Amino acid sequence: MSVLPLVFTSGWASGINAYAVVLLLGLLGVTGVSDEVPAALERPDVLIAAAVLFVVEAIADKVPYVDSVWDAVHTVVRPIAGGVVAALLAGHDGSLPQLAAGAVGGSTALVSHLVKAGTRIAVNTSPEPASNIVVSLAEDLGVAGLIAFALFHPWIAAGIAAALLFAGVAVVILLWSRIRRYLRRRRARRAEKRLAAADAGAAPPAG
């Protein structure tokens, strides 16, 4: 129970930016800011990999439509990362509490990821690119701030994460009609491209 708030918060944050969670926790552990960080997250190879992937995500996440493709690719990655981080935070290799923590972290990360992906699809319906940058920066700052806060005030941080998660679900539900219109337009564009390619292939050679 003592680690559950941190597990929940890290799961929420992993669903938004798993690489930022791993990198931030590792840095806070290496620098001695917190003793709650598992040694596995403090390894140099883990920190380097997390840093490189964080930079890649920071760029991809701010480009319209590229962010949605990136989210689709990470539908599996983020929940797995959330589960692994939660299990490491719980410790006790192979124990029931560790498995339960992994389940909580992974499922929370999945819901958080779906909220992020749904919100981004709605944002991509906007004709200007600035909204993507603003939303992405807000997500990065929110993840960093809440993870750092959770190491010292886990229950308050978990309450904030829960409120953000429920608010995000509500926003996605309210924006669902816009999301469906976007998905229909995208399917229509893909169908048009396939037809154009088929017509080009069927056209007789010139001359």
For the chain, which residues score pLDDT lower than 70?
Answer: 1, 92-94, 127-129, 178, 198-207
Q: What is the pLDDT of residue 92?
A: 65
User: pTM value?
Assistant: 0.81
Distance (Å, whole) CA 86 – CA 180:
33
Q: What is the pLDDT of residue 144?
A: 93
**Cβ-contact 119, 172 below 8 angstroms:** yes
Task: Tell me the CA distances in angstroms from 38 to 62, 79, 84, 92, one per residue in order.
Answer: 31, 19, 11, 11
Distance (Å, whole) CA 101 – CA 91:
9
Any idea which residue has 């939660």 for tokens?
A: 86
Q: What is the pLDDT of residue 45?
A: 94
Q: What is the pLDDT of residue 116?
A: 93
Q: Pick from 103, 136, 150: which is nearest to 9 by CA?
A: 150
Q: What is the pLDDT of residue 127?
A: 66
